[in-house]
C-alpha cells in the first residue's frame, strides 16, 4: 500500500519537476513518472508474490494509476497542443480509463468482477501507455535516442490498444449488463 501512496505523492513531484525553471527539468519529470510506473508494476508483483493484497489496496491501486496517468496526459496534451493526434489519444485514453474503472466497479457490485479482469492486452496497453508518457514528458535525447520522437508512435499505439481493450471489456460485460436491466 505504501507504493500505491508513493505514486500519488509522485504526481506533484513530476509536475513540479516538469514546470520548474531548472536545467533538465523535463528529464527529472520523466524520471519521476518512470519511477511511479515501475512502482506500479513492482507493487502488484509484490502483492501477488507475498500474498499481501487487501481490498483497500486493490481499490486504491487503480485509482493511483489513473490519477498519475491523467496528470501526465494533461501535461502531454498541453505541451503538444498543436498535435491533434496527441490530444485525441489523450482524450481516448482518459475516457477509457474512467469508463472501464466505472464498469469494473459496477461489475464488482454485481459479483462479476472477474468478467472484466485485466487482460494480457490490457497489460500491454498499460506498458505502452506508460512508456509513451515517460518519453513524451522527457522529450529529449539520451544515449543517442530522441525519446520524444519515439513517444508519439508509442502513444498512438497505446491509444489504439486502449480502444481495442475498451471494446473487449465492454463486450465481455454486456451479458451481465443486459441481465441486470432485465431483472
Q: Is 143 left (phi over 0), alpha (psi -120 to 50) or beta?
A: left
Q: What is the pLDDT of residues 100-154, one digit of tens each?
A: 888 888 888 888 778 877 889 989 999 999 999 999 999 888 898 898 899 999 9
| Mean predicted confidence (pLDDT) in 152-172 | 95
| Mean predicted confidence (pLDDT) in 50-60 | 70
- This prediction has a pTM of 0.86
Task: Give the closest residue to 72 by CA, choosing from 92, 96, 90.
Answer: 90
Task: Give the closest residue to 127 by CA, choosing from 94, 155, 95.
Answer: 155
Residues in a beta bridge with 146: 141
User: What is the C-alpha R_g of the chain?
Assistant: 17
CA distance 116 to 112: 8
**Contact of 145 with 135, CB cutoff 8 Å:** no
Handedness of CA 111, 112, 116, 117 (dihedral sign): positive
CA distance 70 to 173: 24
Beta strands in 98-181 (DSSP E): 141-142, 145-146
Task: Give the closest residue to 85 by CA, choosing from 168, 151, 19, 167.
Answer: 151
pLDDT of 1:
62
Q: What is the end-to-end Cα distance of the chain in Å, rounded? A: 38
Would you place residue 183 in the very low, low, confident or very high pLDDT band (cuts 50, 70, 90)?
Answer: low
Q: Which CATH superfamily is domain 2-174 in?
A: CDP-alcohol phosphotransferase transmembrane (TM) domain (1.20.120.1760)
Amino acid at each position: 500500500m505504501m507504493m500505491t501512496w508513493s505514486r500519488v505523492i509522485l504526481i506533484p513531484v513530476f509536475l513540479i519537476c516538469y514546470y520548474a525553471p531548472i536545467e533538465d527539468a523535463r528529464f527529472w519529470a520523466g524520471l519521476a513518472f518512470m519511477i511511479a510506473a515501475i512502482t506500479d508494476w513492482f507493487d502488484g508483483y509484490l502483492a501477488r508474490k507475498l500474498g499481501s493484497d487487501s481490498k483497500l489496496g486493490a481499490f486504491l491501486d487503480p485509482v493511483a494509476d489513473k490519477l498519475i496517468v491523467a496528470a501526465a496526459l494533461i501535461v502531454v496534451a498541453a505541451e503538444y497542443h498543436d498535435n491533434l493526434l496527441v490530444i485525441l489519444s489523450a482524450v481516448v485514453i482518459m475516457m477509457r480509463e474512467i469508463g472501464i474503472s466505472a464498469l469494473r466497479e459496477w461489475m464488482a457490485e454485481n459479483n462479476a468482477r472477474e468478467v472484466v479482469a485485466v487482460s494480457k492486452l490490457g497489460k500491454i496497453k498499460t506498458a505502452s501507455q506508460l512508456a509513451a508518457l515517460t518519453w513524451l514528458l522527457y522529450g529529449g535525447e539520451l544515449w543517442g535516442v530522441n525519446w520524444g520522437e519515439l513517444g508519439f508512435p508509442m502513444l498512438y499505439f497505446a491509444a489504439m490498444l486502449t480502444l481495442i481493450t475498451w471494446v473487449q471489456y465492454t463486450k465481455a460485460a454486456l451479458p451481465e449488463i443486459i441481465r441486470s436491466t432485465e431483472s
